Structure 1
Amino acid sequence: MEVEKNMTSFLNLNVQIDRFDGTNFTRWMGKLFFLLTLPKIAYVLDPKLEPLSEPKEDDFDELKAARKKREDDEVMCRGHILNTLSVRLYDLYNSMESPMEIWNALEYKYKTENECTDKFLILKYFEFVMVDTKFVLDQIHELQVIVTKLRELRVKIYESFQVGAVIAKLPQSWNGYRKKLLHRRDDTNLEELQKHLRIEEETKSRDPKGKIIDSSKVKVVKTSKFFKNFKVNNDKKFKKPSNG
Protein backbone atom coordinates (compact mmCIF):
# COMPACT_ATOMS: atom_id res chain seq x y z
CA MET A 1 0.00 0.00 0.00
CA GLU A 2 2.84 2.37 0.91
CA VAL A 3 4.63 1.59 -2.36
CA GLU A 4 1.50 2.41 -4.39
CA LYS A 5 1.03 5.66 -2.46
CA ASN A 6 4.62 6.75 -3.06
CA MET A 7 4.40 5.77 -6.72
CA THR A 8 1.25 7.88 -7.17
CA SER A 9 2.89 10.85 -5.45
CA PHE A 10 5.92 10.49 -7.68
CA LEU A 11 3.89 10.39 -10.89
CA ASN A 12 1.87 13.43 -9.82
CA LEU A 13 4.98 15.61 -9.43
CA ASN A 14 5.01 18.61 -11.72
CA VAL A 15 8.39 17.61 -13.18
CA GLN A 16 8.97 16.63 -16.79
CA ILE A 17 11.55 14.05 -17.79
CA ASP A 18 11.97 12.70 -21.29
CA ARG A 19 12.17 8.96 -21.78
CA PHE A 20 15.78 7.91 -22.16
CA ASP A 21 16.44 6.55 -25.65
CA GLY A 22 20.23 6.30 -25.51
CA THR A 23 21.08 9.98 -25.97
CA ASN A 24 21.89 12.70 -23.42
CA PHE A 25 22.56 10.12 -20.71
CA THR A 26 24.12 12.52 -18.21
CA ARG A 27 21.14 14.88 -18.41
CA TRP A 28 18.65 12.01 -18.01
CA MET A 29 20.61 10.49 -15.12
CA GLY A 30 20.79 13.83 -13.29
CA LYS A 31 17.07 14.55 -13.68
CA LEU A 32 16.03 11.05 -12.66
CA PHE A 33 18.32 11.01 -9.62
CA PHE A 34 16.80 14.31 -8.50
CA LEU A 35 13.30 12.86 -8.85
CA LEU A 36 14.32 9.80 -6.86
CA THR A 37 15.51 11.98 -3.99
CA LEU A 38 12.03 13.52 -3.57
CA PRO A 39 10.39 10.29 -2.33
CA LYS A 40 13.68 9.55 -0.52
CA ILE A 41 14.53 6.36 -2.39
CA ALA A 42 17.69 7.46 -4.24
CA TYR A 43 19.77 5.99 -1.40
CA VAL A 44 19.26 2.46 -2.77
CA LEU A 45 21.54 3.42 -5.68
CA ASP A 46 24.42 4.32 -3.36
CA PRO A 47 27.29 1.90 -4.13
CA LYS A 48 28.42 2.22 -0.48
CA LEU A 49 25.05 1.12 0.89
CA GLU A 50 25.49 -1.73 3.34
CA PRO A 51 23.44 -4.84 2.49
CA LEU A 52 20.90 -6.02 5.04
CA SER A 53 21.47 -9.35 6.75
CA GLU A 54 19.40 -12.37 5.83
CA PRO A 55 16.06 -12.54 7.71
CA LYS A 56 15.91 -14.68 10.86
CA GLU A 57 13.07 -15.77 13.09
CA ASP A 58 14.45 -13.89 16.10
CA ASP A 59 14.98 -10.58 14.28
CA PHE A 60 13.88 -7.47 16.12
CA ASP A 61 10.84 -5.61 14.84
CA GLU A 62 13.02 -2.63 13.93
CA LEU A 63 15.20 -4.81 11.70
CA LYS A 64 12.13 -6.38 10.05
CA ALA A 65 10.70 -2.92 9.40
CA ALA A 66 14.02 -1.68 7.95
CA ARG A 67 14.25 -4.72 5.69
CA LYS A 68 10.66 -4.24 4.49
CA LYS A 69 11.27 -0.55 3.77
CA ARG A 70 14.46 -1.33 1.82
CA GLU A 71 12.64 -3.93 -0.27
CA ASP A 72 9.75 -1.56 -0.98
CA ASP A 73 12.12 1.29 -1.88
CA GLU A 74 14.07 -0.95 -4.27
CA VAL A 75 10.86 -2.06 -5.98
CA MET A 76 9.72 1.54 -6.37
CA CYS A 77 13.16 2.73 -7.54
CA ARG A 78 13.36 -0.04 -10.13
CA GLY A 79 9.89 0.89 -11.39
CA HIS A 80 10.82 4.57 -11.75
CA ILE A 81 13.99 3.77 -13.70
CA LEU A 82 12.21 1.43 -16.08
CA ASN A 83 9.30 3.87 -16.44
CA THR A 84 11.65 6.57 -17.81
CA LEU A 85 13.24 4.31 -20.44
CA SER A 86 12.19 4.06 -24.07
CA VAL A 87 10.29 0.92 -25.09
CA ARG A 88 13.42 -0.57 -26.63
CA LEU A 89 15.55 -0.03 -23.52
CA TYR A 90 12.70 -1.10 -21.21
CA ASP A 91 12.54 -4.48 -22.96
CA LEU A 92 16.33 -4.75 -22.74
CA TYR A 93 16.67 -4.05 -19.00
CA ASN A 94 13.36 -5.31 -17.65
CA SER A 95 14.84 -8.72 -16.86
CA MET A 96 17.13 -7.20 -14.19
CA GLU A 97 15.62 -7.42 -10.72
CA SER A 98 17.82 -4.93 -8.86
CA PRO A 99 17.59 -1.17 -9.49
CA MET A 100 21.32 -0.92 -8.78
CA GLU A 101 22.02 -3.55 -11.44
CA ILE A 102 19.99 -1.58 -14.01
CA TRP A 103 21.60 1.71 -12.99
CA ASN A 104 25.14 0.32 -13.21
CA ALA A 105 24.47 -1.35 -16.56
CA LEU A 106 23.15 1.89 -18.06
CA GLU A 107 25.99 3.92 -16.61
CA TYR A 108 28.64 1.47 -17.86
CA LYS A 109 27.24 1.48 -21.41
CA TYR A 110 26.31 5.12 -21.92
CA LYS A 111 28.86 6.92 -19.77
CA THR A 112 31.60 5.38 -21.91
CA GLU A 113 29.86 6.72 -24.99
CA ASN A 114 29.57 10.12 -23.31
CA GLU A 115 33.33 10.19 -22.76
CA CYS A 116 33.76 9.87 -26.53
CA THR A 117 31.19 12.64 -26.99
CA ASP A 118 33.15 14.79 -24.53
CA LYS A 119 36.32 14.41 -26.57
CA PHE A 120 34.47 15.14 -29.83
CA LEU A 121 32.83 18.30 -28.47
CA ILE A 122 36.07 19.56 -26.90
CA LEU A 123 37.83 19.04 -30.24
CA LYS A 124 34.94 20.79 -32.01
CA TYR A 125 35.22 23.73 -29.60
CA PHE A 126 38.96 24.17 -30.15
CA GLU A 127 38.74 23.76 -33.94
CA PHE A 128 35.83 26.20 -34.29
CA VAL A 129 36.90 29.04 -36.60
CA MET A 130 34.91 32.19 -37.36
CA VAL A 131 34.62 33.39 -40.96
CA ASP A 132 33.90 36.75 -42.59
CA THR A 133 30.87 35.47 -44.49
CA LYS A 134 28.70 35.17 -41.36
CA PHE A 135 27.71 37.61 -38.62
CA VAL A 136 30.15 37.37 -35.72
CA LEU A 137 27.40 37.28 -33.08
CA ASP A 138 25.70 34.37 -34.85
CA GLN A 139 28.98 32.46 -34.77
CA ILE A 140 29.46 33.26 -31.08
CA HIS A 141 26.01 31.77 -30.49
CA GLU A 142 27.10 28.57 -32.28
CA LEU A 143 30.17 28.43 -30.05
CA GLN A 144 28.06 28.91 -26.92
CA VAL A 145 25.80 26.01 -27.96
CA ILE A 146 28.89 23.77 -27.83
CA VAL A 147 29.75 25.19 -24.39
CA THR A 148 26.22 24.41 -23.17
CA LYS A 149 26.48 20.81 -24.41
CA LEU A 150 29.84 20.44 -22.67
CA ARG A 151 28.35 21.84 -19.46
CA GLU A 152 25.61 19.20 -19.63
CA LEU A 153 28.38 16.61 -19.82
CA ARG A 154 29.98 18.21 -16.73
CA VAL A 155 32.85 19.73 -18.68
CA LYS A 156 33.29 23.21 -17.21
CA ILE A 157 34.79 26.04 -19.28
CA TYR A 158 35.43 29.18 -17.27
CA GLU A 159 34.00 32.44 -18.61
CA SER A 160 37.42 34.11 -18.81
CA PHE A 161 38.56 31.25 -21.04
CA GLN A 162 35.46 31.66 -23.23
CA VAL A 163 36.17 35.38 -23.62
CA GLY A 164 39.75 34.64 -24.69
CA ALA A 165 38.57 31.96 -27.11
CA VAL A 166 36.04 34.28 -28.77
CA ILE A 167 38.70 36.98 -29.25
CA ALA A 168 41.18 34.44 -30.65
CA LYS A 169 38.58 33.00 -33.06
CA LEU A 170 37.51 36.33 -34.60
CA PRO A 171 37.81 36.42 -38.42
CA GLN A 172 40.91 37.81 -40.13
CA SER A 173 39.17 41.07 -41.01
CA TRP A 174 38.89 41.70 -37.27
CA ASN A 175 42.65 41.54 -36.62
CA GLY A 176 42.87 45.24 -35.79
CA TYR A 177 39.97 45.10 -33.37
CA ARG A 178 41.35 41.89 -31.85
CA LYS A 179 44.58 43.68 -30.97
CA LYS A 180 42.54 46.47 -29.42
CA LEU A 181 40.66 43.96 -27.25
CA LEU A 182 43.85 42.19 -26.22
CA HIS A 183 45.40 45.46 -25.03
CA ARG A 184 42.45 46.35 -22.81
CA ARG A 185 43.49 46.40 -19.17
CA ASP A 186 40.05 45.91 -17.65
CA ASP A 187 38.49 42.45 -17.46
CA THR A 188 35.59 41.94 -19.85
CA ASN A 189 32.95 39.30 -19.32
CA LEU A 190 31.24 37.45 -22.15
CA GLU A 191 28.13 39.63 -22.15
CA GLU A 192 30.14 42.87 -22.32
CA LEU A 193 32.34 41.43 -25.07
CA GLN A 194 29.29 40.63 -27.18
CA LYS A 195 28.01 44.20 -26.71
CA HIS A 196 31.35 45.59 -27.95
CA LEU A 197 31.36 43.21 -30.92
CA ARG A 198 27.75 44.09 -31.78
CA ILE A 199 28.63 47.81 -31.90
CA GLU A 200 31.75 47.13 -33.95
CA GLU A 201 29.85 44.90 -36.37
CA GLU A 202 27.19 47.56 -36.88
CA THR A 203 29.94 50.10 -37.50
CA LYS A 204 31.59 47.82 -40.06
CA SER A 205 28.28 47.37 -41.87
CA ARG A 206 27.86 51.13 -42.51
CA ASP A 207 29.37 53.17 -45.30
CA PRO A 208 31.04 56.57 -44.61
CA LYS A 209 27.70 58.36 -45.05
CA GLY A 210 26.11 56.29 -42.29
CA LYS A 211 23.97 54.13 -44.56
CA ILE A 212 23.70 50.39 -44.04
CA ILE A 213 25.44 48.44 -46.76
CA ASP A 214 23.64 45.39 -48.03
CA SER A 215 26.57 43.02 -48.54
CA SER A 216 24.46 40.79 -50.79
CA LYS A 217 24.22 43.64 -53.33
CA VAL A 218 27.85 44.73 -53.33
CA LYS A 219 28.95 42.29 -56.02
CA VAL A 220 25.88 43.05 -58.11
CA VAL A 221 26.61 46.79 -58.02
CA LYS A 222 30.26 46.25 -58.91
CA THR A 223 29.28 43.94 -61.77
CA SER A 224 26.77 46.45 -63.11
CA LYS A 225 29.37 49.24 -63.11
CA PHE A 226 31.83 46.97 -64.91
CA PHE A 227 29.42 46.17 -67.75
CA LYS A 228 28.34 49.82 -67.97
CA ASN A 229 31.95 50.97 -68.39
CA PHE A 230 32.62 48.13 -70.80
CA LYS A 231 29.65 49.16 -72.94
CA VAL A 232 30.66 52.86 -72.99
CA ASN A 233 34.25 52.08 -73.98
CA ASN A 234 33.18 49.72 -76.72
CA ASP A 235 30.63 52.19 -78.07
CA LYS A 236 33.38 54.77 -78.39
CA LYS A 237 35.74 52.25 -79.97
CA PHE A 238 33.37 50.99 -82.64
CA LYS A 239 31.52 54.25 -83.33
CA LYS A 240 31.57 55.04 -87.06
CA PRO A 241 33.24 58.34 -87.97
CA SER A 242 30.87 60.94 -89.36
CA ASN A 243 31.15 61.78 -93.09
CA GLY A 244 30.75 65.46 -92.42
Structure 2
Amino acid sequence: MATKNIIADLNKGEKLTGTNYNIWHKKMTFLLNIWQELFEDLTTIMTRSLEGNTAQSRRDLEDFETWSKKDCCAHFTLLSCMHDDLISAYEHCAIAKDMWDQLRFDFGGTSVTRLRSLVLKFEMYKKDPENSMTEHLRIMSAMIRDLKNAEVVLSDEQQLQAVIRSLPNSWVNMRKILTHNENIKNFADVSRHVELEAQREEVICATTLFAQGGKHNGN
Protein backbone atom coordinates (compact mmCIF):
# COMPACT_ATOMS: atom_id res chain seq x y z
CA MET A 1 0.00 0.00 0.00
CA ALA A 2 2.81 2.41 0.90
CA THR A 3 4.51 1.80 -2.44
CA LYS A 4 1.28 2.42 -4.35
CA ASN A 5 0.99 5.72 -2.52
CA ILE A 6 4.56 6.63 -3.50
CA ILE A 7 3.86 5.87 -7.17
CA ALA A 8 0.65 7.88 -6.98
CA ASP A 9 2.56 10.82 -5.52
CA LEU A 10 5.18 10.58 -8.27
CA ASN A 11 2.47 10.49 -10.92
CA LYS A 12 0.84 13.58 -9.44
CA GLY A 13 4.16 15.35 -9.28
CA GLU A 14 6.76 16.06 -11.90
CA LYS A 15 7.35 13.08 -14.18
CA LEU A 16 10.45 12.55 -16.28
CA THR A 17 10.47 15.09 -19.09
CA GLY A 18 14.08 14.79 -20.12
CA THR A 19 15.25 18.04 -18.58
CA ASN A 20 14.63 16.95 -14.98
CA TYR A 21 16.50 13.65 -15.20
CA ASN A 22 18.81 14.15 -12.22
CA ILE A 23 16.13 14.63 -9.58
CA TRP A 24 13.89 12.01 -11.24
CA HIS A 25 16.76 9.51 -11.16
CA LYS A 26 17.22 10.09 -7.42
CA LYS A 27 13.51 9.61 -6.72
CA MET A 28 13.32 6.44 -8.79
CA THR A 29 16.43 4.98 -7.17
CA PHE A 30 14.87 5.55 -3.75
CA LEU A 31 11.52 4.10 -4.82
CA LEU A 32 12.95 0.99 -6.45
CA ASN A 33 15.25 0.36 -3.49
CA ILE A 34 12.45 0.29 -0.93
CA TRP A 35 10.01 -1.66 -3.05
CA GLN A 36 10.81 -5.38 -3.15
CA GLU A 37 14.47 -4.61 -3.91
CA LEU A 38 13.58 -3.80 -7.50
CA PHE A 39 16.69 -1.68 -7.92
CA GLU A 40 18.78 -4.86 -8.02
CA ASP A 41 16.88 -5.80 -11.15
CA LEU A 42 18.35 -2.76 -12.91
CA THR A 43 21.87 -4.12 -12.47
CA THR A 44 21.32 -7.77 -13.37
CA ILE A 45 20.22 -9.77 -16.39
CA MET A 46 18.93 -13.32 -16.21
CA THR A 47 18.09 -15.75 -18.98
CA ARG A 48 15.83 -18.74 -18.80
CA SER A 49 17.92 -21.89 -18.49
CA LEU A 50 17.18 -25.09 -20.33
CA GLU A 51 14.46 -27.16 -18.73
CA GLY A 52 15.58 -30.09 -16.66
CA ASN A 53 14.44 -32.36 -13.88
CA THR A 54 17.36 -31.78 -11.54
CA ALA A 55 17.07 -29.84 -8.30
CA GLN A 56 19.44 -27.20 -9.68
CA SER A 57 17.30 -26.77 -12.79
CA ARG A 58 14.21 -26.22 -10.68
CA ARG A 59 16.04 -23.66 -8.53
CA ASP A 60 17.29 -21.87 -11.63
CA LEU A 61 13.76 -21.73 -13.00
CA GLU A 62 12.40 -20.36 -9.72
CA ASP A 63 15.13 -17.71 -9.64
CA PHE A 64 14.38 -16.69 -13.21
CA GLU A 65 10.63 -16.46 -12.58
CA THR A 66 11.24 -14.33 -9.48
CA TRP A 67 13.57 -12.04 -11.44
CA SER A 68 11.10 -11.86 -14.34
CA LYS A 69 8.27 -10.72 -12.05
CA LYS A 70 10.48 -8.03 -10.52
CA ASP A 71 11.57 -6.95 -13.98
CA CYS A 72 7.95 -6.49 -15.06
CA CYS A 73 7.28 -4.39 -11.94
CA ALA A 74 10.36 -2.24 -12.52
CA HIS A 75 9.50 -1.87 -16.22
CA PHE A 76 5.96 -0.70 -15.40
CA THR A 77 7.15 1.63 -12.64
CA LEU A 78 9.65 3.39 -14.89
CA LEU A 79 7.10 3.90 -17.65
CA SER A 80 4.40 5.12 -15.26
CA CYS A 81 6.75 7.77 -13.86
CA MET A 82 7.70 9.42 -17.14
CA HIS A 83 5.85 11.93 -19.28
CA ASP A 84 3.39 10.51 -21.81
CA ASP A 85 5.47 11.86 -24.71
CA LEU A 86 8.42 9.68 -23.67
CA ILE A 87 6.60 6.40 -23.03
CA SER A 88 6.40 5.36 -26.67
CA ALA A 89 10.14 5.90 -27.07
CA TYR A 90 11.07 3.49 -24.26
CA GLU A 91 8.26 0.95 -23.88
CA HIS A 92 9.94 -1.24 -26.49
CA CYS A 93 12.89 -1.94 -24.16
CA ALA A 94 12.93 -5.67 -23.51
CA ILE A 95 13.93 -5.44 -19.85
CA ALA A 96 13.97 -2.72 -17.22
CA LYS A 97 17.78 -2.56 -17.15
CA ASP A 98 17.86 -1.70 -20.86
CA MET A 99 15.39 1.12 -20.28
CA TRP A 100 17.27 2.42 -17.23
CA ASP A 101 20.59 2.43 -19.09
CA GLN A 102 19.08 4.07 -22.18
CA LEU A 103 17.49 6.85 -20.12
CA ARG A 104 20.82 7.54 -18.46
CA PHE A 105 22.52 7.66 -21.86
CA ASP A 106 19.87 9.97 -23.33
CA PHE A 107 19.37 12.38 -20.44
CA GLY A 108 22.12 11.85 -17.89
CA GLY A 109 24.84 13.61 -19.81
CA THR A 110 25.75 17.27 -19.69
CA SER A 111 26.25 17.96 -23.38
CA VAL A 112 26.31 21.53 -24.64
CA THR A 113 22.97 20.98 -26.36
CA ARG A 114 21.33 19.70 -23.19
CA LEU A 115 22.71 22.56 -21.11
CA ARG A 116 21.41 25.10 -23.60
CA SER A 117 18.02 23.40 -23.52
CA LEU A 118 17.88 23.57 -19.72
CA VAL A 119 18.86 27.24 -19.62
CA LEU A 120 16.45 28.20 -22.41
CA LYS A 121 13.56 26.37 -20.78
CA PHE A 122 14.18 28.21 -17.52
CA GLU A 123 14.56 31.64 -19.10
CA MET A 124 11.44 31.25 -21.29
CA TYR A 125 9.25 29.52 -18.73
CA LYS A 126 5.77 31.00 -18.18
CA LYS A 127 3.30 30.23 -15.45
CA ASP A 128 0.72 27.61 -16.39
CA PRO A 129 -2.79 28.96 -15.61
CA GLU A 130 -3.66 25.56 -14.15
CA ASN A 131 -0.94 25.84 -11.51
CA SER A 132 -1.13 27.81 -8.30
CA MET A 133 1.60 30.34 -7.67
CA THR A 134 3.13 28.03 -5.07
CA GLU A 135 3.25 25.18 -7.60
CA HIS A 136 4.70 27.52 -10.22
CA LEU A 137 7.52 28.60 -7.93
CA ARG A 138 8.18 25.00 -6.92
CA ILE A 139 8.63 24.07 -10.59
CA MET A 140 11.03 26.95 -11.14
CA SER A 141 12.97 25.98 -8.04
CA ALA A 142 13.28 22.43 -9.40
CA MET A 143 14.56 23.82 -12.70
CA ILE A 144 17.22 25.82 -10.85
CA ARG A 145 18.21 22.66 -9.00
CA ASP A 146 18.45 20.71 -12.27
CA LEU A 147 20.70 23.38 -13.72
CA LYS A 148 22.88 23.33 -10.62
CA ASN A 149 23.17 19.54 -10.85
CA ALA A 150 24.28 20.03 -14.46
CA GLU A 151 26.94 22.43 -13.14
CA VAL A 152 25.17 25.54 -14.43
CA VAL A 153 24.96 28.03 -11.58
CA LEU A 154 22.61 30.93 -12.24
CA SER A 155 23.25 34.26 -10.58
CA ASP A 156 20.66 35.70 -8.20
CA GLU A 157 19.86 38.34 -10.82
CA GLN A 158 19.23 35.70 -13.49
CA GLN A 159 16.90 33.79 -11.18
CA LEU A 160 15.10 36.97 -10.16
CA GLN A 161 14.52 38.16 -13.73
CA ALA A 162 13.36 34.71 -14.86
CA VAL A 163 10.68 34.65 -12.16
CA ILE A 164 9.49 38.14 -13.08
CA ARG A 165 9.29 37.20 -16.78
CA SER A 166 7.34 34.05 -15.93
CA LEU A 167 4.49 35.91 -14.24
CA PRO A 168 1.08 36.23 -15.94
CA ASN A 169 0.49 39.13 -18.33
CA SER A 170 -2.12 40.49 -15.92
CA TRP A 171 0.67 41.12 -13.41
CA VAL A 172 2.18 44.04 -15.35
CA ASN A 173 2.18 46.42 -12.39
CA MET A 174 3.56 43.77 -10.06
CA ARG A 175 6.37 43.07 -12.51
CA LYS A 176 7.37 46.73 -12.41
CA ILE A 177 7.26 46.79 -8.62
CA LEU A 178 9.42 43.68 -8.37
CA THR A 179 11.89 44.99 -10.95
CA HIS A 180 12.47 48.29 -9.15
CA ASN A 181 12.39 47.01 -5.57
CA GLU A 182 16.02 47.07 -4.42
CA ASN A 183 15.21 44.90 -1.40
CA ILE A 184 14.42 41.95 -3.66
CA LYS A 185 17.79 40.38 -4.34
CA ASN A 186 17.30 36.66 -4.93
CA PHE A 187 14.88 33.82 -5.66
CA ALA A 188 13.72 33.54 -2.06
CA ASP A 189 12.93 37.26 -1.90
CA VAL A 190 10.93 37.37 -5.10
CA SER A 191 9.12 34.13 -4.24
CA ARG A 192 7.97 35.57 -0.93
CA HIS A 193 6.62 38.75 -2.55
CA VAL A 194 4.94 36.85 -5.38
CA GLU A 195 3.20 34.41 -3.04
CA LEU A 196 1.96 37.26 -0.84
CA GLU A 197 0.54 39.01 -3.90
CA ALA A 198 -1.15 35.81 -5.04
CA GLN A 199 -2.70 35.39 -1.60
CA ARG A 200 -3.87 39.02 -1.66
CA GLU A 201 -5.56 38.47 -5.01
CA GLU A 202 -7.28 35.34 -3.71
CA VAL A 203 -8.66 37.27 -0.72
CA ILE A 204 -9.93 40.08 -2.95
CA CYS A 205 -11.58 37.57 -5.27
CA ALA A 206 -13.22 35.70 -2.39
CA THR A 207 -14.42 38.96 -0.81
CA THR A 208 -15.89 40.14 -4.11
CA LEU A 209 -17.74 36.86 -4.64
CA PHE A 210 -19.06 36.98 -1.08
CA ALA A 211 -20.29 40.55 -1.55
CA GLN A 212 -21.99 39.67 -4.82
CA GLY A 213 -23.65 36.71 -3.17
CA GLY A 214 -24.96 38.96 -0.39
CA LYS A 215 -26.48 41.35 -2.91
CA HIS A 216 -28.26 38.53 -4.69
CA ASN A 217 -29.63 37.22 -1.41
CA GLY A 218 -30.79 40.71 -0.49
CA ASN A 219 -32.75 40.98 -3.71
Instruction: Report the TM-score when normalising by structure 2.
Output: 0.47
Which entry has the higher C-alpha Rg, 1 or 2? Answer: 1
Higher helix share: 2
